[in-house]
């Protein structure tokens, strides 16, 4: 990784410093990992939506964390990025689009979407 990696300038305890683009990339990576693999079409969807370099950097960071830490990051940012019904629906819609990117909206992905609907 180069020295301009976004997460290198952030503390593990403060994902609130992330830009919305960084945060939503992280959330989509988490969603893509719902069925325990990120497919090439899902990765391409995230890269096209949020940038290839950012996708690569956030994915590397994502896999440095444990599952509890990943959810903790999302929960810490809930009030910042999911403050309104509209913002919640936007991310859920983006997750649905990403789930369909590989042509397989799996049961695990559907369950994660339901979980996020309740979580947010």
| Residue 8 pLDDT level (bands cut at 50, 70, 90) | low
First to last CA, the chain: 32
Mean pLDDT score, 56-70: 91
Is the pLDDT at 3 greater than 80, yes or no?
A: no
Sequence-distant (6+) residues with CB within 8 A of 101 are 39, 41, 42, 44, 45
pTM of the full structure: 0.81
pLDDT of residue 87: 83
The pLDDT > 70 percentage for the chain reads 88
pLDDT, tens digit (0-9, with 9 covering 90-100), for 15-44: 778 888 888 899 999 999 988 889 899 999
Is the pLDDT at 7 greater than 70, yes or no?
A: no
């Amino acid at each position: 990784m180069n020295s301009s990696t976004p997460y290198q300038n952030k503390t593990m305890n403060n994902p609130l410093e992330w830009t919305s683009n960084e945060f939503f990339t992280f959330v989509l990576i988490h969603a893509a990992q719902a069925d325990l693999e990120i497919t090439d079409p899902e990765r391409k969807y995230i890269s096209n939506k949020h940038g290839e370099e950012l996708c690569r950097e956030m994915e590397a960071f994502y896999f440095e964390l444990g599952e509890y830490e990943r959810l903790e990051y999302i929960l810490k940012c809930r009030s910042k990025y999911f403050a309104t019904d509209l913002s919640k629906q936007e991310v859920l819609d983006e997750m649905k689009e990403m789930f369909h990117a590989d042509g397989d909206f799996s049961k695990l992905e559907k369950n994660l979407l339901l979980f996020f609907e309740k979580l947010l």
